[in-house]
A and B are shown apart, each in its own frame.
Chain A
Amino acid sequence: VTTRATLVASGFFAGFPPGDLERLDACAAEVELEADRHLFRQGEPADRFFVVREGLVAVELPVPGRGVLIVDTVGEGDAVGISWLFEPARWQFDARASRPTRLVALDAGCLRAALDADPELGHRFTRRFAAVVQHRLQSARLRLLDLYGPAAGEDGGGVPG
């Protein structure tokens, strides 16, 4: 079991009142991963929510014929794992430590119960969580534009150099 100081230091929970942290502390544990070890794999039960304290986590998917493709990385202070909040609570991607990584892990059942029991905490958490999702959505949308991809068009209209 981790401490409130660890939760506060984890970035995602920065600014949460001490009462919230006390409640969440009961759900939390620290996790350490060596480089290239998996945090979870696609299809497994999504039973935890993670915040990276140090290191880097690659969110990836094996694609037949193309190997494993990394679609996102999550760094210090940021959250890993969305699927735990929604039915059927199974991971949609793999998560692997790109380098030695330390995380705070919150048990999903315990966390959901805490959010349900305290609507103010639930509201605070959901707002923070939605910001993460919004950020990921914006990142995915912008990368869909393939801005660095092959330029279609004419000299002068694009970026010849």
Chain B
Amino acid sequence: VASPADLGSPVAGRGRPEDHGRGLRGLAPEPEAAAWAVGALAAAGGAGAWPEPMAPRRYRVRARRRELADTVTLLLDPVDEPIGAYLPGQFNMLYAFAVGEAAISVSGRATADGALPHTIRAVGATSRALCAARPGEMVGVRGPFGTSWGVGDGAGGDVVVVAGGLGLAPLRPAIHQLLAERERYGRISLLVGARSPETLLFRHELESWRGHFDLHVEATVDAAGAGWHGHVGLVTGLLEHAPFDPASTLALACGPEVMMRFTAQALVDRGVPADAVRVSLERNMKCAIAFCGHCQLGPTFVCRDGPVFPWSRVERLVGIREA
């Protein structure tokens, strides 16, 4: 494993652009024609050429946008050979040099020149350091790892996307894919739960999606002030009025595990087959290559066999109490 010293330090002299907030170059919505997966640079031969799977590649923070009080989106430019093409739902290991690595999902389409968006919540030392990274600073990236949402499996049927809290970030590339290929799918529902109206992630984008005439978008929060005119309650409550034919529906759910468990059960109760319900699990990913065993869940390694699993495969496993 390369040491932080080998990989360089934050670039001095390059200047530290301020946080520009929304509309920042590169974080604005990409043109419709842009691929939702990174593609371009990886197709040029980048993927797989890196000799050491545990060695991160250097990426520089191009832009940083604060999403919520504890959550930022970093847009990362490759400095070394870029990582391979990713699919919606896959994750990268982001390395805050001299602090540590954390598994972070790619949270949107790559830009045409290969910059990757990652949305990070500050929960521990590493993610706090990543959230604090400023434009011009360097981070390490390994990936992409794990399974994808398999959005294309929903073609010809309805799709229900259920996001709780920060769970919208790993689902965002899947939503971009659905919108880019809108004609392939039947009815599409996006149901979002959050703690409060103030903590709805990507709120402006949610409002924009809600304006689509062919997209059913609803949000609910745990509690709200009187100024909120939306729903208050569990995200599963939104399923009752979502338009979908259970027998031919692909459902994607991401959020706190308890929320996913109740969501998956509600979907199955409505008649969605358990293998058409997909959830993205979080475990203690360390190596991300199914070697160290930290993320083992029964007979599976979440980093390799997940993070996206059909509910039929993990329903029993997530029900096992951990010591």
Residues of A within 8 A of B (CB): 35, 56, 58, 60, 66-73, 75-77, 96, 98-99, 138-139, 142-143, 145-151, 153-161
Contacts and interface: CB of A to CB of B under 8 A. Distances in A.
Nearest to A60: B226
B166 A68 contact: no
Interface in B229-273: 229-234, 237, 240-241, 255-256, 258-259, 262
Given A73-B231, A153-B124, A161-B169, A146 B225 contact: no
B164 interface: yes
Contacts of A158: 121, 123-124, 282
Interface in B273-318: 282-286, 294
Interface hub of A139, A147, A156 (most chain B Cβ within 10 A)? A156
Given A147-B164, A148-B222, A159 B121 contact: yes
Contacts of A151: 121, 123
B225 A67 contact: yes
B225 A159 contact: no
A77 B199 CA distance: 29
A98 B226 CA distance: 9
Given A73-B233, A147-B258, A148-B193, A160 B225 contact: no
Given A75-B241, A158-B124, A159-B165, A148 B199 contact: yes
Q: Is the interface of A mostly helix, strand, loop or mixed?
A: loop
Interface stretch (B100-108, B143-151, B176-184): B100-108
The number of chain B residues touching the other chain, given as a range, is 35 or more
Interface in B161-176: 164-167, 169-170
A156 B102 contact: yes
Given A69-B224, A142-B262, A161-B104, A156 B124 contact: yes
A159 B256 contact: yes
Contact of B258 (A58, A145, A149): A145
Contacts of B225: 66-70
Nearest to A58: B232
B70 interface: yes
Interface in B212-232: 220, 222-226, 228-232
Interface in B108-139: 118-127, 130
Nearest to A11: B240
Given A68-B225, A160-B121, A142 B234 contact: yes
Nearest to A59: B232
Given A142-B234, A148-B194, A161 B166 contact: yes
16 contacts: A67-B225, A99-B229, A138-B234, A143-B233, A143-B234, A147-B164, A148-B164, A148-B193, A155-B100, A158-B282, A160-B124, A160-B126, A160-B127, A161-B105, A161-B118, A161-B121
A147 B229 contact: no
